Amino acid sequence: MTRFALQLLYLVSALTLLAAGAAKAEETTIAIDNFAFTPAVTTVKAGTSVRFVNHDDIPHNVVLADGNARSRALDTDDSYVHLFDKPGKFVYFCGLHPQMKGEIQVTP
Ligand SMILES: [Cu+2]
């Protein structure tokens, strides 16, 4: 095998691995609109990254009720990503407006 063919083979395997990795990483989005998390209740599989995007003109943040995560204040169009890697029920709220609540159900 020529050196070029070997390099090509290496490149193709690397790309295949990359593609497999990209396909595996799940992500879902929760919008913050008009002082509410939408959808308020979301079900995802363990290993899913959840992205919270603030569409309001005022800052919001995301706080997990179990104390395991707290985002900075998100300005308009800012987002915060949290990986939910363990099954369970995770309640969260906005630390600036605690009446804004949501729930993420993580299935195995
Ligand atoms: Cu808020």
Structural domains present in the chain: 25-107 (2.60.40.420)
Per-residue model confidence (pLDDT) at position 18: 55
pLDDT tops 60 at residue 30 = yes
Q: What is the pLDDT of residue 88?
A: 98
Ion ligand 1 residue ranges (Cβ < 5 Å): 60, 94, 96-97
| 3: confidence class by pLDDT, cuts 50, 70, 90 | low
Task: For strands 88-93 and 63-64, give the pairing.
Answer: antiparallel
More confident residue, 23 or 61: 61
User: What is the Å distance from ligand 1's center to 6 Cα?
Assistant: 55
Instruction: Please give the pLDDT value at position 11.
Output: 55
How far apart (Å, rounded) are the C-alpha atoms in residues 31 and 40? 9
